[in-house]
Amino acid sequence: MKFGDTIQSADWKAEKHAPVIEAPETVAAGQVFHVTLSVGKEIPHPNTTEHHIRWIDLYFKPEGDKFIYQVGHFEFVAHGESAKGANQGPAFTQPFATCALQVQASGTLIAVSLCNIHGLWESSQPLALA
């Protein structure tokens, strides 16, 4: 078995676990742009002690390059846990992050998220240079 065989994908509009990538379709080389990542945009994902998104990673795969490059790792570490019991805590983080980056080539943005119950999920979006 390969690691990639464990990653699931689906249309985020119909699957609450698939990460959503919101970014421009075209950017200028070297221009800073923003990428917003989330899970549960159309169908809310539970954010409970028992069932939550732990993290989202963002990668960039330049066109024609063999390798992908990790752009960011965003952890969500408060899920309502408390000494009082599950879901009794004072804080619940939501799986939502925005980062700024710039690229020098066209390629693909790839997001991978981890649900503590349902495993790894991925989405991708092409990114072209203007």
34 flagged as catalytic? no
Residue type at position 4: G
52 flagged as catalytic? no
45 flagged as catalytic? yes
115 flagged as catalytic? yes
Q: Which of 51, 63, 73, 75 is catalytic?
A: 51
Buried b / exposed e along 29-68 (16+ C-beta atoms within 10 A): eeeeeebebbbbbeeebebebeebbeebbbbbbbeeeeee
79 flagged as catalytic? no
Contact between residue 96 and residue 111 where contact means Cβ atoms under 8 Å apart? no
**Taking Cα atoms as reference points, which of 80, 95, 4 lies closest to residue 44?**
95
Q: Which of 61, 99, 118, 122 is catalytic?
A: 118
Q: Among all residues, which ones are annotated catalytic?
A: 15-17, 45, 51, 115, 118
